[in-house]
Structure 1
Amino acid sequence: MTQMIKRRLKVLHTAVSMNPSVGVSRQMEWEQRAADVLDLPWDTSLHTQKIVQSPVVVCHDGLPQGALRRYFALRKAYYQWLEHTATQYDLVLLRHSVHDVFEARLAGQIGRKLITVHHTLEMPELRSASNVFGPLRAVLEHYIGRSSLHACGGIVAVTEEILRFERSRLAVEPIEKPGLVYPNGIVCSPECPVDNRGKHPELLFVAASFSNWHGLDLLLDAMERDSAHCSLHLVGSLPDALARRCCDDARIQIHGPLGTNELTGVMRSAWCGISSFALYRQGMSDACTLKVREYLDGGLPVYAGHRDAGLPESFPYFRNGPVDLAEILSFAFASRSASRAVVKAAAAPFISKVSLLSRLYGDISRLF
């Protein structure tokens, strides 16, 4: 008797952005590498005006002058490409762009083939912006984004909290819309991290650019209240006001933005990685940041002021706690006996892009 072979779904995961962060482009590139390792019929593509050296990035040059004209020209070219390319795939995962009328139009055209992918609580984040346009953009997203959600075939979110939020926007069908959680992940390094920890605790806080939701100001408040002997390494761009505060504390070293090799050198002496303390400023309590995954892959335990959606509550090398220097140092000392290799190995099943993509593809295949 001839055995029937089920055809595998062919999937495209794509995004468009005027100025994508390094994290976004790396996520897309890592995902493609994971798909290749798994031999999945899965393609990733990021379209932008920005020159990014990556095999998954498509750079649109020759766009007109003027920010608004470039914005619309990029999206017009991208969605024309996507409308045509979507016919070659069974499903299209599209990273959601706020108040994007082109996205809403595409959702109306290809409907159930489209799955929108969400990385934040869009309206609360827009309302928290420090400019006068944030509230207006939040209103536009409320209507235009909801149109995309109603028309699409499903929702993917990086945390359960975000998935619940997106479903709540669907006043008519909050339960029926299929949804999946797909945490951020990385391609784990095969090397065992070098351990150069000294006798005194060193903390490492990394951000491309420190924003209000990182809560660095809260950590500086905590350090001003506690003179405990330790070091804090800050990697990334700091606002001038925060940089001036750091200069008043000899325990703090500002490195600025660092390349991969330079950052690895700083990580070797660190006892603990620090993540965000003020997600509540964006209306969030959960996160799934790349930086936490990079810390763990480097063998660093992590202390943060939020839950991590991709790690189990019982995971021993991630602590969600108050912004209190004594608590942070207590966790750093408690984790000191764990080798870099032990931390890295314990985290691997939860942060590996290969594992996460394999699970997502299986879930998508069952749902759709």
Structure 2
Amino acid sequence: MRLVHLTVSRQLSQGQLKQLRFEYDAAKDLKNVEWITLAYHNSSASQPFVHQTPFIFRWIFFRKLWCWVVAIKLSRSCDLVMMRHITFDPFTFVFAPLIKNRISVHHSKEVEELKLIRKGWKGKAASWLEKVSGRFSVSRTKMILGVTQEIAEYERDLRAPDKPIDIYPNGVDVEKIEILQDKRLPNEVNAVFICGTFSAWHGLDKLVAAVDDGDVQDDVVSLTIHLIGKLSYCQMSEIQATEARRKIFKIHGSLSEIEYRPIMEKCDVGIASLAMERQSLLEGSTLKVREMLAMGMPIYSGHEDIALVKEEPFVNIVQNVCLKDILDFGLKSKSVTREKIRRFSRKRISKLAAMESLISNELLWIKKI
């Protein structure tokens, strides 16, 4: 079987490039399937699977047209075309019915997310257009894939109740992620919160509110939360506004992996997104969680994830953020080795395992429809 996974974007983020690179490399180890990873964006090609969108197609709506042009061509040479869903797309009414072997891939609840990305009437208009065009597009696919079960079920129930669904979660190549050296200290707990940009759904404000509640008191063990990533001017001001906040938070700014690994080596806890409900999501499938688990880092999270099993001592999934919980979890996690966390998480965070599961569960079957 020959299949292609197509992504077309204005600008692929570093996280997207990483994820597609893991997929591209894992595809070489698949058996009886030729899996092609292909992406286009406006910038120059930085990876073997990335191509630069032709100049005349780089404008927003022409870019959507280019995606369909590529998809139609691929549909003739591939058994299945996995196409990352295009939002508020006028061309879907022309081209979606022409590709009979297309699978729709979804990374969010687009109708809800567009209201958050674009504020005011622009967001509402984009969301309404997506509700109409998305239903037409998804209802004309062979199958719906979501990075989480929640997203897959949402897309099916909203747009195409008769379509089969499956999950295609994010994943990593564990062997290509170096495990952290264990430099944790006995009389202090260090937590790390790392984001490209601290958006609303990451929930940094919940940590700030927890500090203001003053719910961590320990004369023996100190707590430090390291913030790595881009903070807005407002966020910087809020974090530095009180002595209690300045004592808990340590701001590092945006760092490369080489720069932030020494910080993470002494950390007991990695903090995952704490407010995904602001994206109308209860379940996540983030690359950050998978990378931290591969490094051997315990995870404190505000959302469910198939990579996070509650029964494991190195996982703490919470509804309400509490600094005392982070402190206690960090102390408890000191007894769990980095190697154990990596070993126990390997199957659930592997990109190759996600691809193999998808193929065995659905793709070989759906090809026969």
Q: Which residue of 1 aligns with 2:175?
A: 189
Task: Tell me the equivalent position of 1:367.
Answer: 366
1:238 has 2:226 as partner: no
Work out whether 1:14 is the aligned partner of 2:9: no
Counterpart position of 1:5: none
The amino acid that maps onto 2:134 is G
In 1, the alpha carbon distance for the partners of 2:190 and 2:39 equals: 37
Question: Which residue of the partner structure matches residue 338 of structure 1?
Answer: 336
**Matched-pair contact (CA < 8 Å) for 2:309–2:315:** no
The root-mean-square deviation of aligned C-alpha atoms, in Å, is: 1.8
CA separation in 1, counterparts of 2:93 and 2:357?
A: 28
Uncovered stretches (5+) of structure 1, i.e. residues with no partner: 1-8
- Residue 288 of structure 1 aligns to which amino acid in structure 2? S
Q: 1:62-98 deviations in whole A, cap 9, x for unaligned?
A: 348xxxx712333333322221122110000001121
Provide Cα deviations, 1:340-366, integer angstroms capped at 9, x if missing partner. Answer: 111111111100111111111212113
Q: Conserved in 1, the CA contact under 8 Å of 2:268 and 2:334?
A: yes
**Alpha-carbon distance in 2 for matches of 1:126, 1:265:** 37
- State the Cα deviation string for residues 29-74 of structure 1 (Å, max 9, x = none): 110111112243000111110235211111125348xxxx712333
Maintained 8 Å contact 2:189/2:267? yes
Distance 1:26 1:104 in 2: 32
Determine whether 1:320 maps to 2:317.
yes
Per the alignment, residue 259 of structure 1 pairs with 256
- Quick one: which of 15, 22, 40 aligns to 1:30? 22
Number of the residue aligned with 1:4: none
- Please, which moves more after superposition, 138-147 or 54-63? 54-63
CA contact (8 A) 1:98 1:141 kept: yes
Please list, as runs of the form range in 1=range in 2, the aligned pairs for 1:160-199 lying within 5 A after superposition.
Answer: 160-170=149-159, 173-174=160-161, 176-189=162-175, 191-199=178-186
Conserved in 2, the CA contact under 8 Å of 1:232 and 1:252?
A: yes
TM-score, with structure 2 as normaliser? 0.90
Distance 1:223 1:130, change over 3 A: farther
CA 324–189 in structure 1, closer or farther in 2 if over 3 Å, else same: same
What TM-score, normalized by structure 1, do the two folds share?
0.91
Greater mean deviation of Cα atoms: 226-235 or 318-327: 226-235
Are the counterparts in 2 of residues 206 and 274 from structure 1 also a CA contact under 8 Å? yes
Sort the Cα spacing of 1:93 and 1:252 in 2 relative to 1 into closer, same or farther, 3 A: same
Structure 1 residues 218 and 24: alpha-carbon distance in aligned structure 2, compared to 1, 3 A threshold? same
Deviations 1:324-352 (A, max 9, x none): 11111111111110111111111111001
Say how many residue pairs are matched: 352
How do 1:1-368 residues align onto structure 2 when only pairs under 5 Å count? 9-39=1-31, 40-51=33-44, 53-60=46-53, 62-63=55-56, 70-111=59-100, 113-129=101-117, 131-132=119-120, 133-170=122-159, 173-174=160-161, 176-189=162-175, 191-199=178-186, 200-226=188-214, 227-228=216-217, 229-248=222-241, 249-321=246-318, 322-363=320-361, 364-368=363-367
Q: Which amino acid aligns with 1:276?
A: S
Contact 2:74 2:81 in 1 (8 A): no
Q: 1:214 corresponds to which letter in structure 2?
A: H
How far did residue 180 of structure 1 move?
0.6
Q: Report if aligned partners of 1:178, 1:367 keep a CA contact under 8 Å in 2.
A: no
SS of the aligned residue for 1:287 comes to: coil
Unaligned runs of 5+ residues in structure 2 are none
Please identify, of 345-354 and 181-190, the stretch whose mean Cα deviation from structure 2 is larger. 181-190
C-alpha separation in 1, matches of 2:346 and 2:182 = 18
The structural deviation recorded for 1:269 is 1.0
Contact 1:184 1:310 in 2 (8 A): no
Percent of matched pairs sharing the same residue: 31
Distance (Å, rounded) in 2 between the aligned partners of 1:104 and 1:302: 43
Q: Are 2:71 and 2:81, in contact at CA under 8 Å, matched by a contact in 1? A: no
CA 250–308 in structure 1, closer or farther in 2 if over 3 Å, else same: same
